[in-house]
Amino acid sequence: MENEVIRLGAFELKEKIVKKLSKAGLSEEYAGDIADNLVFADIRGIHSHGAVRVEYYAERISKGGTTLEPKLRFEKTGASTGIFHGDNGAGHMVAKKGMEEAIKLAKESGIGVVGVREMGHSGTLSYYVDMAAREDLVAISVCQSDPMVVPFGGRENYFGTNPIAFAAPTNKKRPIVFDMATTVQAWGKILDARSKNHSIPDTWAVDKEGNATTDPYEVQGLLPIAGAKGYGLMMMVDILSGSLLGLPFGKHVTSMYNDMTEKRNLGQLHIVINPTYFTDLETFKARLSQMIDELHSIPAGNGFSEVLYPGELSEKIAEENQEKGIPIAKSVYEYLESDIIHRNQYDHSTAFAAGSKK
């Protein structure tokens, strides 16, 4: 049965998230950084990375798995490179500050490559590349995650969902922004299905026997997108955001759930390119806008009403939700409204058991 949804304005939703995370022990400033990212996701229909995650963050914060007052430090390692040391602070805040440094480098020298070390879960990556595109820059961001994916040809999990995000400016009202897991679906989509009592397509995941499943509560492994191709991409992301930064890799990446007092030590890599070092900015933006127009002009295939560029559907959903309010699962809304900080439903469980209480 589909769960009822409650619609909230962006400001109201952010306020509720900040209140809950502050109650868990995080400063209002850092709670605001998390909330901005979650609202960005929810308003675009990416509910897997929105308010559904608040209870998990609150549990980890309250149990010491997030450094409340991290010693943040940016180490410039070259004319266009640097490392942002996050001291395992709130991942959304650390990743945001790392992107700010990458943007500065790109403006100064044409390109900025910043590795972000020792951070918690950072939410939807499109938030960070969007920051750069709004500054007329091109950006790529990749991030490792805990092992939840069955490698192509295998039955035991090794890599994470390891997402990739990309953004570029246009001379239209929106930049091009898209964000994808290297699995058929991100783990957050499974959590979202659980929160709404939905089944999932049988192409998303497998059960403990390695068989396809439609029950989100039976999931024990996710599947790479496009088989061997997705498998290769998730390895690439793991290398760029893990091994390249001297951090744990593959199955050695810490679990989101095994020990909520444990720091995550995750890595993320931001690559920002200044188009003016390669071409005329306005010509570049005009060409991307022309590309969008030409894609829109292509006749729609069977079962489709129009051709959209990657990420455009999320922007259309955002426009609609700005008018109607952001839909939040009733169960998530009730948690945000409650006096409960968390219900101990994540700690000391496997990734797939976490949040599994019906």
Is position 85 annotated as part of the catalytic site?
no
Largest CA distance in the chain: 56
Residue identified by tokens 């430090």 is 73
Beta carbons within 8 Å of 16's beta carbon, 6+ residues apart: 8, 51, 336, 337
Instruction: Report CA torsion sign: 256, 5, 1, 200.
Output: negative
The full length of the chain comes to 358
Contact of 197 with 2, CB cutoff 8 Å: yes
The one catalytic residue among 49, 92, 121, 342:
121
Beta-bridge partners for 74: 84
Q: Which of 342, 145, 350, 187 is nearest to 258 (CA)?
A: 350
* 263: Cα within 13 Å, side-chain hemisphere: 16
Q: Cα separation of 47 and 143, whole Å?
A: 19
Contact of 227 with 241, CB cutoff 8 Å: no
Catalytic center residues: 121
